[in-house]
Amino acid sequence: KAGVTQTPRYLIKTRGQQVTLSCSPISGHRSVSWYQQTPGQGLQFLFEYFSETQRNKGNFPGRFSGRQFSNSRSEMNVSTLELGDSALYLCASSLNLDRINEQFFGPGTRLTVL
Amino acid sequence: KNEVEQSPQNLTAQEGEFITINCSYSVGISALHWLQQHPGGGIVSLFMLSSGKKKHGRLIATINIQEKHSSLHITASHPRDSAVYICAVEWVSGGGADGLTFGKGTHLIIQP
């Protein structure tokens, strides 16, 4: 069974640009969560999607958005990039059959904002 | 603010030693996760606990709900165990709205 895949793996953008990151979950998984990891703040929850609906959202500005498609693939978008958005962005998928779910992480997309 | 505290932040040990990493949290949780992150960023889920104890190979995870504390133990440690170990919780009060809250991680180095 293929794992969680994320594209692209590396990305360099400049301030003010926007970026779209993609996540393909494990086949059969309906929940996709996104996380940001920085040296200063560590891992932080961005949002979670389930069956094309955003269920949960972390404490991030509206420049961070996402969506999920009918095949459970998810994208996240960051508009008007700032230097502080440089981070490793991780997505994780889970079956979400009940409240407690093991999460399977992708390799991440490393975003650098210049 | 609900918080997750891990200790120690850094740990260097010799191959074969018994390793313990601790995680404490501030309020009630519905689940606690132990994660492993290797250089390069990939994260692997090691355990998911809501009570008691779980064992997988040389790894053991325990949780004490009353004391709001969990430990991750590694027996017969090996250099390949060198990684960052991260504790993450799902808060009961958030009803799932908060997603996972993470500790800052424990950077473990096992020397041969």
User: Which amino acid is it at A6?
Assistant: Q
How does pLDDT run along chain B (112 residues), one tens digit per residue? 678 999 999 999 999 999 999 999 988 888 999 999 998 778 999 999 989 999 999 999 999 999 999 999 999 999 999 999 999 998 876 555 567 899 999 999 999 9
Pairing mode of beta strands B10-14, A104-105: unpaired
Q: What does A49-65 look like in DSSP terms, one character per residue?
A: EETTEEEEE-S--TTEE
Secondary structure (3-state) at A3: coil
Weakly modelled stretches of chain A, pLDDT under 50: none
Q: Minimal Cα distance from B94: which residue of A? A: A56
Spatial CB neighbours of A97, under 8 Å, sequence gap ≥ 6: none
Residues of A in contact with B102 (CB under 8 A): 42-44
* pLDDT (0 to 100) of residue B27: 85
Chain B closest CA to A108's CA: distance in Å?
Answer: 7
Among B41, B48, B99, select the one facing A45 at the smallest CB separation: B99
Note the pLDDT tens digit of each residue in A68-101: 999 999 999 999 999 999 999 999 998 865 555 7
The CB-side HSE value for A89 (13 A sphere, CA atoms) comes to 33
Q: Report percent pLDDT > 90 for chain A.
A: 77
